[in-house]
Amino acid sequence: MGYEPAVLRRAAKRLEEQRLDRAARQEQAQREIYAKLPRVAEIDRELKGTIYQIISASLKQGRDPVPAIGVIKDRNLDLQAERARLLAEHGYAPDALELRPACPKCNDTGWVGSRMCTCLRALCAQEQIRELSKLLDLGEQSFDSFSLDCYSPLPWPGEPVSPRENMEFIYEVCLNYAQKFGKFYFRNLFLTGAPGLGKTFLSACVARAVSEQGFSVVYDTAVNIFTRFEEQKFARDRQEAGEAKDETRRYLGCDLLILDDLGSELTTPFVQSALYTLINARLTADKRTVISSNLSMDQVRQRYTPQIASRLEGEYRVLPFYGEDIRLLRKGQL
C-alpha cells in the first residue's frame, strides 16, 4: 500500500513537529530542574566528561585500559544513583532528564528499516481523511451513525424486499467490505440507484473505515476524473500536463478508488476509452474500486461500450438502492 506523496509529506512534517515539540518541552524541564537542583547539573556535566576519560584510558599505550575503564564506570554508576536519589527526593521521575522517543519502534523516525512505522501510518491515515473531507463530508459519516429509520419497511413495487430490508443487506456488504478490505469476497462494488438514497453516505463510510486501516484511498467524481485524463492527453502546457498525469496516477495506483456519480460526465469516445482504461487497469493490478451511479445497469449497457458494461457486471457486486429520497424525507421532518 502507498500513500499519495502530498499526504506522506504532511504526515512526516507532523511527526517531525511532534518530535521537536517534545525536545523543546524536555529542554525546558531540564532548565527548571538544573535551576532548582544545581547538584544535578554538576552530575550531568561530570557524566558527560567520563566519556572522554574512557576514550583516553583506552588509547593509552603500554597500559591495560580495562582497570581504568572499570573505575570510571563504577564512578558513573555512583553518580547516576545520586542523581536518581536527588530527583526522587524532589518529586521527579528517575528518567525526568532523559528524552525518550514517543515511538520506541522507530525512535520517532517514522520508519523501521524500509517499512513505514505504525506511528507514521496513523498520521498518514489522519491526513488522508482530512484530504477526503474536502470532497466528502466525513464529519459524522461513519457506519456507526448510519440509520435505517428513513427506509420504509413496506413492500416496494417491483422489488422482492422492502427498502429497509434491502438497505440492511447493502449496509452489511459495505461494512464487511471496509472492515475486511482486500480480503472480502466482493472485490469491487457498484452502487446504483436514484439520488438521495445513501450511496454517497455509504461511500464516505467505506472511505473512512479503509483509510483508518492504513490503506490509500482516493475519492473523486466522474467529471473530475475524466477531466484529468483529458488534460493529461490534450494539455498544451507541460506543467499542467504533468499535474494531470500525477492525478491520473493517483486514480490508477491507490488501494481504493471511489468514483462517484458515474454517468454525470459527457460521454464522448475519449471518456469511454478513459473509463475502460481506468477500470481495466485497476482490475489487472488487483486494485479495489467502488463506483456509485444514478444509472441502472440497463442504462449502463445503453450508455457505455459492451466491454465496460461486461466488466462492471462481471467484476463488481452490483448493489441496487431504491426507496424514497432520504434527503427530502429528512427535510420534511425539520
State the residue range of the domain holding 305.
135-333
pLDDT of residue 101: 86
**With DSSP H G I counted as helix, E B as strand and the rest as coil, what are the percentages for the chain, rounded to 5?**
60, 10, 30
Q: Are residues 160 and 282 in the same domain?
A: yes
Of 163, 184, 131, the residue nearest 320 (C-alpha):
163
Mean pLDDT across 246-256: 85
Which residue has better confidence, 239 or 206?
A: 206
The residue behind cell 424486499 is 161
Mean pLDDT value across residues 91-97 = 86
State the pairing for strand pair 256-262/288-293. Answer: parallel
**Range name among 64-73, 88-97, 103-112 with the lowest pLDDT average:** 64-73
The reply to whether 122 falls in a domain is no
Residues 199 and 291 both lie in one domain: yes
Please indicate, yes or no, if residue 107 is contained in any of the structural domains.
no
pLDDT digit string, tens, across residues 287-314: 999 999 999 999 999 999 999 999 999 9
Query: Which pLDDT score, from 0 to 100, does residue 73 have?
Result: 79
The CATH number of whichever domain residue 319 belongs to comes to 3.40.50.300
Residues whose CB falls within 8 Å of the CB of residue 217, separated by 6 or more in sequence, listed in order? 128, 132, 207, 210, 211, 254, 255, 256, 257, 258
Residue 131's pLDDT band, with cuts at 50, 70 and 90, is confident
Q: Say whether 35 sits in a helix, a strand or coil.
A: helix
Are 162 and 220 part of one and the same domain? yes
pLDDT band at 5 (very low <50, low <70, confident <90, very high): confident
Instruction: Please tell me the predicted confidence (pLDDT) of residue 271.
Output: 93
Residue 246 has pLDDT above 70, yes or no: no
Q: Does some domain include residue 279?
A: yes
- Together in a domain, 222 and 317: yes
Total domain count, the chain: 2
328 occurs within a structural domain: yes
Do both 83 and 144 map to the same domain?
no
Are residue 80 and residue 169 in the same domain, yes or no?
no
Task: Report pLDDT for 257.
Answer: 94
State whether 85 and 140 are in the same domain. no
- pLDDT value at 325 more than 90: no
Q: Confidence class of residue 56 from pLDDT cuts 50, 70 and 90?
A: low
Predicted local confidence at residue 95, as pLDDT: 82
pLDDT value for 306: 94
Q: Residue 96 has what DSSP assignment?
A: T
Question: Residue 139: which pLDDT band, with cuts at 50, 70 and 90?
Answer: low
Task: Specify whether 83 is located in the same domain as 165.
Answer: no
Q: Which amino acid is at 42?
A: E
Q: Which residue has the higher pLDDT, 56 or 222?
A: 222
Q: Report the mean per-residue pLDDT for the chain.
A: 86
Q: What is the pLDDT at residue 241?
A: 54
Domain identity same for 160 and 256:
yes
The SS3 call for residue 142 is coil
**pLDDT confidence of residue 137:** 62
